[in-house]
Amino acid sequence: MRWLAALLIFVASLAVASPASAGRSNSLVLTPSQPVAGSPVSFSWSGGGDDVTLYVNCADGTSAIGVILEDGDPESFAVTFPTPTSCSAQADIVTYTAPGKYQRKQAYSSFIVQ
């Protein structure tokens, strides 16, 4: 029974040691920074990587997919949200490390459309 208690304490310590923002993105830039329904919102990437694809899903059913960085160059991607809603975004980030080799990771963010 002591081993079970020790295991529970260990698992709880892992949960406390992991910050709630792990995997969250501050690299996704929205213009304007406070989106308004009916107006276009441009997305760009200020983080690392060579290619970044963005997936946006909103509570009102709006969704969009776009490339915001390709071969290290910014790409134009904008969405007009029809209604006020809350949205989540996932950035799929690819970094090329050598010919034929790459690393892939994801970053997550959320925002409110007023």
DSSP string, 74-102: E---EEE-SS-EEEEEEEEEEEEEETTEE
- How far are the Cα atoms of 23, 25, 54, 64, 96 from residue 71, in angstroms, in the given order? 23, 20, 15, 21, 9
> d(Cα 82, Cα 74) in Å, to the nearest integer?
25
Q: pLDDT tens for residues 71-112?
A: 999 999 999 999 999 999 999 999 999 888 999 999 999 999
Q: Does the structure show a pLDDT above 90 at 24?
A: no
pLDDT-derived band at 16, boundaries 50, 70, 90: very low
| Residue ranges of domains in the chain, CATH in brackets | 27-113 (2.60.40.10)
Residues 6+ apart with CB under 8 A from 4: none
Mean pLDDT, residues 34-46: 95
pLDDT-derived band at 30, boundaries 50, 70, 90: very high
pLDDT of 73: 94
Q: Does the structure show a pLDDT above 90 at 21?
A: no
